Structure 1
Amino acid sequence: MEFLVGTGLAAAAGLNAWMPLFILGLVDRFVPGFELPAAWAWLSSDVALWITGILLIVEIIADKVPAVDSINDVLQTAVRPVSGGIVFGAGSSAESLQLDDPSALFANHAWVPIAIGIVIALAVHFVKAAVRPVANVATAGLAAPLVSTAEDVSSFGLAVTAIFVPVIALLLLVGLIVVVVWLLRRRGRIRQERRQPAV
């Protein structure tokens, strides 16, 4: 179950870096019976909630503007994987880095969940970053707000269900993968049709 929680949260981070961080912090702060491991409790501190909340709003707005969304995706190439590593580690109850003894991170394999989260978030981010410019060009930028809103809703849904109902998060993730594969195949067919000479 911890793997499902971490996977759902990391995938959500691949769509929106700040959404799962902010939600984890809020849930830890306000939901009775839910408590992050001590190493990750900083996510629910006042400072962390204010920072992730403000950055969440900035990303939501920037992602709705054509051209700005592509610049945002380039900037987020480093941020989303880091967020994915953090939320996967927190969601799967991994221990965090000990700055006074970095070798302990590798000795007890605490880095493994963080690395898995980084890979998952990076994969989702690359798909998002590849699909978005195509949608912008195909619709002259009109699709940016709609696609971005769908991504935000998906990120929110994945994060919340990963925390409360991990099995549903897995189903949502599978559904998201199916939609992306369908869109990529459709794009390939459209390109192929354009290459064929008209008869």
Structure 2
Amino acid sequence: MLAALTGLGLSTAAGLNAYIPLLVVGLAANLTDTVKLPDGYAWLSDGWVLAIIAVLLAAEVILDKVPIVDHVNDMIQTAVRPAAGGVVFSATQAASQLDNSTWMTQHPWASWTLGIGVALIVHLMKSTARPVVNATTAGVGAPVVSTAEDAGSLGLSLVAIFFPLLVIAALAALALPAWWLIRRRKAHRTARAQRLPHPSS
């Protein structure tokens, strides 16, 4: 249960920002005993790897706040964010020791599949909603929404590691703005279709 919640929270965070959960997991494993990385994932806590992730995060934070550029960045991140989701879900399998579950450890493909799937779904929602935000706010909303997404990714990553039982509540809180953005996109499409000239019969 706790392992699944931790992995779910981290992979969801990766769908918003690929590098924040990677950095949080790596730092937690490097500086604390909270995260014990399984065999094959020790590289995630290496100082050089963390430095590279930090540089990539800095670039992501800047690029994602520039209208149009954020759309191009989302296209690139279509591969990166799901991969990060698979990594963080798999790298925290050690949390299964807390609830005496070994199934995830014995079936590593499952954690990768779940992590990739969850991160991809969140990423697709994010990349679909962003053009609507840019169009309806003339680009002004891009940095605001991006900052909220970064904060959500960081908060969810911390909650997933230190307070996994709160992941469900955190996901519910994130679902509300996602639902609002989806409704906004549908309304935008409807309004756009009504403005288009109809061919004469």
Match 2:132 to one of 131, 134, 154: 134
Q: Which moved more, 1:167-176 or 1:29-38?
A: 29-38
* 2:64 counterpart residue number: 63
Q: Residues 173 and 136 from structure 1, CA distance in 2 versus in 1: closer, same or farther, beyond 3 angstroms?
A: same
* 1:117 counterpart residue number: 115
Given that 1:9 and 1:91 are in contact with CA atoms closer than 8 Å, whether structure 2 keeps it comes out as no
Within-5 A mapping of 1:160-179: 160-179=158-177
Please give the per-residue CA displacement for 1:82-117, whole angstroms capped at 9, x wherever unaligned: 0000001112339xxxxxxxxxxxxx5311100110
Aligned residue for 1:93, secondary structure, equals helix
Within-5 A mapping of 1:75-154: 75-93=76-94, 109-154=107-152
Aligned counterparts of 2:128 and 2:34: Cα–Cα separation in 1:
40
Please give the per-residue CA displacement for 1:39-79, whole angstroms capped at 9, x wherever unaligned: 22211101210111110111011101111111100000000
Identical-residue share of aligned pairs (%) = 47
Query: Following TM superposition, by how much is the alpha carbon of 1:9 offset from its aligned partner in structure 2, in angstroms?
Result: 0.3
Query: Following TM superposition, by how much is the alpha carbon of 1:183 offset from its aligned partner in structure 2, in angstroms?
Result: 2.2
Runs of 4+ in 1 over 3 A off after TM superposition: 189-197
- Alignment size in residue pairs: 184
Alignment of 1:29 onto 2:30: yes
Query: Following TM superposition, by how much is the alpha carbon of 1:186 offset from its aligned partner in structure 2, in angstroms?
Result: 3.5
Gaps of 5+ in 1: 95-107
Please give the per-residue CA displacement for 1:122-175, whole angstroms capped at 9, x wherever unaligned: 000000000001101111111111000000000001101000001222211122
Aligned counterparts of 1:63 and 1:193: Cα–Cα separation in 2:
27
Aligned residue for 1:38, secondary structure, equals coil
Q: Which amino acid aligns with 1:90?
A: A
Alignment of 1:155 onto 2:153: yes
CA RMSD, 1 decimal: 1.8
Query: Following TM superposition, by how much is the alpha carbon of 1:187 offset from its aligned partner in structure 2, in angstroms?
Result: 3.3
Aligned counterparts of 1:181 and 1:131: Cα–Cα separation in 2:
10
Query: Following TM superposition, by how much is the alpha carbon of 1:33 offset from its aligned partner in structure 2, in angstroms?
Result: 4.6
Given that 2:129 and 2:185 are in contact with CA atoms closer than 8 Å, whether structure 1 keeps it comes out as no
Within-5 A mapping of 1:41-60: 41-60=42-61
TM-score, structure 1 normalization: 0.86
Query: Following TM superposition, by how much is the alpha carbon of 1:194 offset from its aligned partner in structure 2, in angstroms?
Result: 6.0
Aligned counterparts of 1:84 and 1:33: Cα–Cα separation in 2:
19
Query: Following TM superposition, by how much is the alpha carbon of 1:178 offset from its aligned partner in structure 2, in angstroms?
Result: 2.5
